[in-house]
Structure 1
Amino acid sequence: MDMPAASASPAPSTTPGGNRRKVALAAAAASAVEWYDYFIFGIAAALVLGDEFFPSSSPVAGVLAAFATFAVGFLARPIGGVIAGHLGDKRGRKPMLVLALTTMGLATLAIGLLPSYGTIGLAAPVLLVVLRIVQGLAVGAQWGGAMLMATEYAPEGKRGLYGSLVQLGVPIGVVTANVAFLLAEGLTGGDAFTSWGWRIPFAVGVLVLGLAWYIHHRVEETPEFRAAERELAERERREKGAAGGDEAGEGAGERRSPLRAILGGHLGTVFLAGGSFAVNTATFYILITGVLDYTTRELDMERGSVLMVSLLVSLTQFALIPAAAAFSDRVGRLPVYAAGAVGLLVWAVPMFLLIDTTSLWLLAVGTFVTSCFLSIMYGPQAALFAELFTAEMRYTGASLGYQISAVVGGGLAPFLMVLLLEVSGTSMAVSGYIMVLAVIALGSIAVLARRARERARAVGGEGEGGGGGGEPRAEAAGGAR
């Protein structure tokens, strides 16, 4: 039966408020610096990596090669999520988060120092691909750890809001990455930026190592993971005592495999989670990388101006993401989540019609409205995914669902956008791609909502976390409302 256990909703934390806030802010900072390191690659792929690492007589071929390398990192993300999720469900959230931050910092610094094709030949693109894979592994491991550090420390009735602090790492990463490139281009400019100035943002990314040290030494493991550990240890002790011998120990070892539990009984929930979010990740990466390439290369818009629009639009998410998350604490996750998906479906065509005018103001309007719908989905998403799985398999399940959506949506989106534009000759093909993913998202959300209603009826109309007042429910967090 592909349904979470009755305890799927995280238990409210009894941790003192000051420590909660410290952990939540540390998790948000971890998310921000990790995404900064990840996003600067996407911006660099749209601006310079094609020429520096994939020289070709065709500019389109160079951009496709750079975006293919960008996509490779997404293919590695589920692997990072599975490995860190399995270990994070067994060993703790904090160690995996620290490892992910350290790995990302070192890989990002190495990209900034990597010689170009003109210096070391074919070794340059090969090493770039390898380092991008390492970045993908790191960010795949990071999201689940940061998200659970925040949501498992959250006070009663505020899990969506606390989870949104980690989600804010994405717009923070986008804003700081754009600022870093704007400053680098302003300080160097022209040929100097193309030659070496683009490397500056990668060097700054190594500051993530300092945050990894802080979390390792100053942040405690989540109380819910510690409680789950104690409960499991007590259960195994009782069963071993009742059965005697190694046989019970072996059975307990099997139960201690989060990945086996997910693959054996909850894989459908993982795919529904991934299907519900793919439209968000695809549209997001189309905005921050695909549109940047399209407007500067195809529409001949000024690079600095387009970067500034992207920066200003991203700033709006700082208010919208926590607002949507807080609203989901009151009315349920799925109604808010579905509203964002409907918005992306309806706005996909108008967005590109506005972009195609080549007006900076209309570009800003088109991307701003899209960003609003992305924020409406992104705010409650961390709490929603956490509530789909029990504590002993939550890191694995939530990470795998999220990273599947990243591969299907985000990783391929900029590459497919360039390909669709070349084949069709119209941006409406990209709008169609977004609309297909939005329909898939709404179908996945509908199934999750149906499961939530069935589960509510099975327990007499009450969700596992208590329905009223926005407390999370198991299997879709209030989506049956």
Structure 2
Amino acid sequence: MSAPGGPATPAGATPRSSDRRRVAFATVIGTTVEWYDYFIYASAAGLVFGRLFFEPAGQEFATILSFLTVGISFLFRPLGAFLAGHFGDRYGRRVVLVFTLILMGAATSLIGILPTHAQIGLAAPALLLLLRILQGISAGGEWGGAVLMAVEYAPSHRRGLFGAMPQIGVPIGLLLASAMMAVMDLLFPGDAFLEWGWRIPFLFSVVLIAVGYWVRRRVEESPIFAEIAARKEQTKAPVPTLFARFTPLVLFAAFVFAGNNAIGYMTTGGYVQNYATEGLGLERGPVLWAVTASSVSWLVFTFVAGWLSDHIGRRTTYLIGYVLLGAGVLALFPLVNTAELPLLALALVLLTVGLGLTYGPQSAWYTELFPSSVRFSGVSISYAIGAVLGGAFSPAIASWIQQSTGSSTNVSYYLLGMALVGLVGTLLLRDRRGINLRPTNEEQQSRGIYIWDDSSSAPSQTSTTT
């Protein structure tokens, strides 16, 4: 099918600049919509869901239960990744992206009209959990397709920059989600926010989904997959093939993401918002605006990191990023615990430096790590497992640590441990910047992955072929 913007790029041909710009725009819009939906839930979990859906459990346990619903969705991300990987490696990236966008939007919109526990009893948290699971399945399939579209369309020397485009959709989604919640807090103060204000951002998802669907339908299939399809080389069972040949790679790549994700979900998972408002007594609106400001800096550093990785390498960028992320963790709670809003905002902004540097290059590095025949499966499943190990339950774990020990310092130790996991994963993998991604280069793509591989088998860093 040809896009309205022009004829499809022939298999094996170099994509046009206009095609690349269209794909970059589409991946930003699509991931922004997906993650706006995902983060609206996490923000509401930290601010209102404990009272509205889990109140009979008591205030403290209701908060933990609310955060657990954030984490349980991560357990279904691998299912979404398995399904998306299978269909993406067999039938293409584009069809998967359209489906995940619709699934996410439908689940989010339905949460906006969901009755509370006071209205329908235990059915309310049960339905909330079901819709969150659907969000998790969608998120598990979304990311892999988006990054492959961006990176496989990119020229080899700018994959980091193009790969950063779907990555910046995440902080933009957080920005929109936090800003929407903050605006609703202004328009619906006090009990009005609990009754109706929180619902409007969920219902607004309908508009965003319509825009995202229109944009994604205008994008052609990835030229790499088009070549695979033209050569009739789709893998019949990509997921079993992936684990039979590349299980260590999947695990190490998951570790790379786990450290970033655990720390990032201190804000995207709603923990800092809840800690600042319920624990420190700060007002909800200013805290949300502080999170919004930090999402802007996260966006900037994510984009810069993608560009930087094209010049100094993905692995080097990550190593610098994890050192800075550890420093950000050490500064986080000492600044937040002052209960001063400017220092809270400063803490979150400092944290985003390391978060951006350990997120911006991920699209390009993941894409270059996996051979073309199992690339969608490998990228999606590694990301999903990393999310389970990292951010899935980090807000709930942090809440439990805080309530059990009464010390935020112990939460910092937990986060530093997760940063170390990410650093170890980074050290175990090679930088494969510039490797030829086409299916004709499958043999080279399968070698030179780990640090113990013979260096003579590592890919050339000077390839200019897409």
User: What TM-score do you get using the length of structure 2 for normalisation?
Assistant: 0.90
1:15-26 to 2 correspondences below 5 Å: 15-26=15-26
User: Which residue of the partner structure matches residue 306 of structure 2?
Assistant: 325
User: Which residue of the partner structure matches residue 282 of structure 1?
Assistant: 262
- 2:290 and 2:19 map into 1 onto residues whose CA distance is 37
Local SS of the residue matching 2:35: helix
Q: Deviations over 1:417-471 (max 9, x none)?
A: 1000011110011111111111111211111139555557224xxx53x3149x7
1:95-114 to 2 correspondences below 5 Å: 95-114=95-114
Runs of 4 or more above 4 Å deviation: 450-456
1:157-196 to 2 correspondences below 5 Å: 157-196=157-196
1:425 aligns with 2:425: no
User: Which residue of the partner structure matches residue 210 of structure 1?
Assistant: 210
1:315 aligns with 2:296: yes
Alpha-carbon contact 2:167-2:363 (below 8 Å) kept: yes
Q: Deviations over 1:262-288 (max 9, x none)?
A: 110111101101111111111111123
Alpha-carbon contact 2:326-2:416 (below 8 Å) kept: yes
Q: Which amino acid aligns with 2:60?
A: V
Alpha-carbon contact 1:111-1:131 (below 8 Å) kept: yes
- 2:462 and 2:415 map into 1 onto residues whose CA distance is 35
- 1:43 and 1:65 map into 2 onto residues whose CA distance is 14
Change (3 A) 1:468 1:12: farther
1:376 aligns with 2:357: yes
Alpha-carbon contact 1:354-1:362 (below 8 Å) kept: yes
Q: Which amino acid aligns with 1:259?
A: V
Larger mean Cα displacement after TM superposition, 359-368 or 37-46: 359-368
Local SS of the residue matching 2:56: coil
- 1:58 and 1:165 map into 2 onto residues whose CA distance is 42
User: Which residue of the partner structure matches residue 244 of structure 1?
Assistant: none
Alpha-carbon contact 1:279-1:437 (below 8 Å) kept: yes
Change (3 A) 1:120 1:472: farther
Alpha-carbon contact 1:13-1:155 (below 8 Å) kept: no
User: Which residue of the partner structure matches residue 398 of structure 1?
Assistant: 379
Local SS of the residue matching 1:266: helix
Alpha-carbon contact 1:34-1:208 (below 8 Å) kept: no
Change (3 A) 1:189 1:366: same
Alpha-carbon contact 2:107-2:134 (below 8 Å) kept: yes
- 2:453 and 2:224 map into 1 onto residues whose CA distance is 23
Q: Deviations over 1:136-165 (max 9, x none)?
A: 001111111111111111123111100100
1:217 Cα deviation after fit: 3.5
Alpha-carbon contact 2:12-2:227 (below 8 Å) kept: no
- 2:213 and 2:274 map into 1 onto residues whose CA distance is 36
1:390 Cα deviation after fit: 1.3
Local SS of the residue matching 1:221: coil
Aligned to 2:251, which of 259, 271, 287? 271
Q: Deviations over 1:345-381 (max 9, x none)?
A: 2332222111111111221222111111100111101
Backbone CA RMSD of aligned residues: 2.0
Larger mean Cα displacement after TM superposition, 216-225 or 76-85: 216-225
- 2:12 and 2:119 map into 1 onto residues whose CA distance is 56
- 1:13 and 1:425 map into 2 onto residues whose CA distance is 60
- 2:12 and 2:185 map into 1 onto residues whose CA distance is 47
1:330 Cα deviation after fit: 1.3
Aligned to 1:291, which of 261, 264, 272? 272
- 2:90 and 2:408 map into 1 onto residues whose CA distance is 46
User: What TM-score do you get using the length of structure 1 for normalisation?
Assistant: 0.87
Q: Which amino acid aligns with 1:441?
A: G
- 2:449 and 2:369 map into 1 onto residues whose CA distance is 11
User: Which residue of the partner structure matches residue 456 of structure 2?
Assistant: 458
Q: Which amino acid aligns with 1:334?
A: R
Change (3 A) 1:331 1:46: same
User: Which residue of the partner structure matches residue 46 of structure 1?
Assistant: 46
Local SS of the residue matching 1:14: coil
Q: Looking at CA atoms only, which structure, 1 or 2, has the larger radius of gyration?
A: 1
- 1:347 and 1:43 map into 2 onto residues whose CA distance is 22
User: Which residue of the partner structure matches residue 243 of structure 1?
Assistant: none
- 1:293 and 1:146 map into 2 onto residues whose CA distance is 31
% same residue: 37
- 2:93 and 2:208 map into 1 onto residues whose CA distance is 18
User: Which residue of the partner structure matches residue 149 of structure 1?
Assistant: 149
Alpha-carbon contact 2:12-2:223 (below 8 Å) kept: no
Alpha-carbon contact 1:12-1:154 (below 8 Å) kept: no
User: Which residue of the partner structure matches residue 6 of structure 1?
Assistant: none
Change (3 A) 1:359 1:13: farther
Alpha-carbon contact 2:366-2:379 (below 8 Å) kept: yes
- 2:183 and 2:286 map into 1 onto residues whose CA distance is 13
Local SS of the residue matching 2:281: coil
Q: Which amino acid aligns with 1:128?
A: L
Aligned to 2:239, which of 259, 272, 281? 259
Alpha-carbon contact 2:98-2:217 (below 8 Å) kept: no
Alpha-carbon contact 1:276-1:440 (below 8 Å) kept: yes
- 1:156 and 1:454 map into 2 onto residues whose CA distance is 25
- 1:55 and 1:107 map into 2 onto residues whose CA distance is 23
Q: Which amino acid aligns with 1:52?
A: L
Count of residue pairs the alignment pairs up = 438
Q: Deviations over 1:218-255 (max 9, x none)?
A: 2110111011222344xxxxxxxxxxxxxxxxxxx9x5
Local SS of the residue matching 1:129: helix
Alpha-carbon contact 1:111-1:128 (below 8 Å) kept: yes
- Extract unaligned runs of 5+ from structure 1: 1-10, 234-252, 474-481
Alpha-carbon contact 2:301-2:352 (below 8 Å) kept: no
1:440 aligns with 2:438: no
Q: Which amino acid aligns with 2:461?
A: G
User: Which residue of the partner structure matches residue 124 of structure 1?
Assistant: 124
